[in-house]
Every structure is written in C-alpha cells, then in structure tokens.
Amino acid sequence: MKKVIYAMLSVCVAAVCIVLGSCSTGDSAAGAAAKLLGGSSEALLFLNCRAVSEDEIEFEFSRPVTIKSLVFEPVLGIDSIEEGSTVKVRINEIQKPGTGITAEILAEDQDKNSINVLVPFRTRNNRMPKLVINEICTEYYNAKAGKKEEYIEFKTKSAGNLGAMRVIINGNANAVKQTIYEFSPVEVKKDEYVVLHLRTFDRSSRDEYTDNLNVSGGVNASSEARDFWIPGETKLIHTPASAVYVLDQDDKALAAVMFSSDLSSWWAKDYLAETAEFLFKQGAWKSVDGKICGPAGAVNSAGATNSRTICRDETIEENSKTAAEWYITATSSATPGKPNNSKRYVPK
C-alpha cells in the first residue's frame, strides 16, 4: 500500500510545486519565485499517514504545518485537529475495522509553502484474528474443466476481522515486499478456511465478503470457505524459492512460511536472506534449531505441482513456525478451502 501512496504523493507534490511555485529546492525558478513571495525554497513534504486507533489518524509532514482544509471520502465527522509536524486528527465516527478511506489535505507551513495531498489509508483494525498459512499451491494447471490458479490458504485460529491485513510474497527481485492483496473488512470465526486465489481465470470468480460462501465461481472455489481473488492473470508466486507472509497495520508479521525447491542455491538471493532475518526477529519463521532460517530451514517444495501442494500438518496444534510441520501432499490431493489431505508425496 505504501508504494501506491508514495507514487500518488509524488504526483501530488509535483502538481503543487507547479501551481504554487513554492515547493522546489535549491535556486530553481520556482524556488526564486517562492522567496519573492516570502516563502521558502525548501520543499514541504508529506511523509506518511496511519490510523493509530479506531478514532485517531496521524498525518506526518517534514515540518510543522497548519491545516487549511481536510476532507474524507467517505465523509467522516471530525472532532479535533492537533497541528504540527505530525497532524493528529480525531474523528467522531467509528468505521468497520480496515475500511478504505481517502483523505484530501491542504496544509501550509509558517513560510506559506503549501502542499495538497490525496492519500488512501485504512481505518484501524484492533481485532485481526490469529491465523496460520495452511496450504500453498505454487503452480497453475490448464484442466479440461478450466484453468486452476495458484492459491494461498489460511486457517483462522481465533475469531476477528480481516480488514487491512496484507499478504506479501517475496520471491522475485522485481517484487520484493510486494503487497499482493489487502483485505477489506470481513468478520471471520475460529477455524475458518480462507483461500486467496493468486489470479483470476474465471469471470464468475467473486470475493466472498458476506456470509454467502457460494457466491464465487472458479474451478478452485470452495463452498466451505471464503474465496478471494486477485484480478488479472499475472503469475505472482515464484519458484524455486519464495517467502509468503501476512502483516498487520504496524508491519508485524502474523504468519509466515519460507519454501524452496532448491535448498542448495536459493540463499544467494539477498532479498530472501533479508526476509528470513525480518521474519526471525518478528518471531514468525525460523529454522528447526531455532536460528535465522538458512537454506536448510525452508520447506522443501521439490515435487510440488498444482495437485501436489505444500501443506501444513493440521494435527499439530502448536505452530512451531518451522519447516518441521510442512509436507508435500500426494498427487491429486490438493484441498483448497478444506482440511489438508494427510497423504504425503513420496518421490520415486
């Protein structure tokens, strides 16, 4: 989400600099114009936005500002605004956890430098459920009944709301720490299966945000689980190695798994080593001996296909957060949205 925000903000900042002539750096024409107008040639920057509680949102700037206007879409009532480098806004309408909101802000510093920002964010979700990554399908298959896409299956370990929960895949140098999906508000119960389908081949595929679990079409859709779909047909999960994990709004890892079909060489990828260190520090994934995950600490995914998926042993109640409880299920034993098949693949 941050990448999207920053890209949008870059456009906004550029637009303000052109219109107001008071946001440039150095001795450019815009900077000179700003000085003539009594302003500063140093750019006023918007840095970040986050919901710190159910009724408070913070907007961070590069220096203290006053707020000239602030509008939310959908409309939210505002109780108070505390100005400064970090602008604290208290709203008087509590939204569902993880509701998507857009804020349009016009701010000004003491030198009359102005910035107009359009920024999306999600309301605070303090009720994210405990969950585990339960099954991963890394390959698609062009079956007679229709194409079967890759997917990530989750199992909830407590009740809660999925709103603002982010799913990340690190398996490609061009998509490091890429948020592939961010959930909108939806209540879940303990022991529910949630399937995130990693591309959409069937036009009848629908996200199941209501209690009706028969809304979605698609070959891999399940009437016993919540199905969610990533639009388009771009491959998002990569082999021979990937890290899949879930983050909350504070960038805390809630669940993770690292896997590789080539345990001898995949560690050469710096982004995977960095991810392993991050997940270890977060207490989300480690090697069997309790250290930062090295090549031998990843789940061995060699032999995985669309019908032989990477599965967590559901008979193990205590999540070790290691490769010890993972296996490749037997041929034709993939179970999206259902309990994992205990039959295991045995290489010939």
pLDDT of residue 348: 83
Beta bridge pairs of residue 142: 147
Query: Is 187 a member of any domain?
Result: yes
**What is the Cα Rg of the chain in Å?**
23
My answer on whether 191 and 307 are in the same domain is yes
pLDDT of residue 169: 93
My answer on whether 40 and 101 are in the same domain is yes
pLDDT beyond 70 at 9: no
pLDDT beyond 90 at 268: no
3-state secondary structure of 323: helix
My answer on whether 61 and 149 are in the same domain is no
pLDDT beyond 80 at 116: yes
My answer on whether 55 and 139 are in the same domain is no
Query: Is 10 a member of any domain?
Result: yes
pLDDT of residue 153: 98
Model pLDDT for residues 205-261, shown as the tens digit of each residue: 999 999 999 999 999 999 999 999 999 999 998 778 889 999 999 999 999 999 998
High-pLDDT (> 70) share of the chain, %? 85
Query: Is 342 a member of any domain?
Result: no
Query: Is 344 a member of any domain?
Result: no
pLDDT of residue 239: 75
More confident residue, 230 or 171: 230
Exposed/middle/buried for residue 328 (C-beta within 10 Å: 0-12, 13-18, 19+): buried
Quote the CA–CA distance of 243 and 138 in Å, as a whole number: 12
CATH of the domain at 182: 2.60.40.1260
My answer on whether 152 and 262 are in the same domain is yes
**The whole model's pTM is what?**
0.85
Nearest to 310, CA basis, from 184, 143, 135:
135
Mean pLDDT computed over 192-205? 95
CATH of the domain at 32: 2.60.40.1220
Question: Which of 45-54, 147-156, 167-176, 216-225 comes out lowest in average pLDDT?
Answer: 167-176
Give a three-class secondary structure readout of 294-306: CHHHCEECCCCCC
For residue 162, the enclosing domain spans 131-328
Place of tokens 């900077």: 31
